[in-house]
Amino acid sequence: MDVPEVLLDADRIARRVRELGAEISADYSETGLVVIGVLKGSFIFLADLVREITAPVIVDFVSMSSYGSSTCSSGIVRVTKDPDVDVEGKHVLIVEDIVDTGWTLKMSCLAENLQAGGAASVRVCTLLDKPCRRKVDVHLDYVGFEAPNEFVVGYGLDFDGLYRNLPYIGVLNCEYQED
């Protein structure tokens, strides 16, 4: 079996997404926000999250990569799609599936570019935080769960394009993992 261990089941994920949605709704009830999902991994989390946010929401996406078909970040971040929405004067929430090394957020300069584009504020929400793998300092405003030092898949997270469709988050079989 490629994913022998379930780390977070669908019910636990759904409960935490509802909690995050309520917290974000309270923070932006008066202003609304632009939610920018980092493709491809965030799309399932983002879809569930925005349905839990009661404040007005505009959704857009960026696409970046630092993994390719490996289980280790290359440290080189490629931006392949910038946001299309004008963020001037708007509150922005960047939504990530997982933050581990921090390279994707830091090296892409995403938050800084959004600020330079006139965003009223820029905050970050991630489903999974893996601080034990952090290489650069990044600030996370909303965190779903802390992840262990394992390569995880499911609920949008993948290995070489596979496993995104799993309704849970599981640990990938160790034969695929690299250090």
Residue pLDDT, tens place only, 84-136: 999 999 999 999 999 998 887 776 788 888 998 999 999 999 999 999 988 88
pTM, entire model: 0.89
Residue type, 42: S
Helix axes 43-52, 10-28, angle to 10 degrees: 60
Nearest alpha carbon to residue 72 among 95, 103, 39: 103
Instruction: Identify the sign of the CA torsion 18, 40, 3, 177.
Output: negative
- Name the active-site residue from 27, 97, 100, 158: 100
Enter the CATH code of domain 11-149.
Answer: 3.40.50.2020
- Does residue 48 carry a catalytic annotation? no
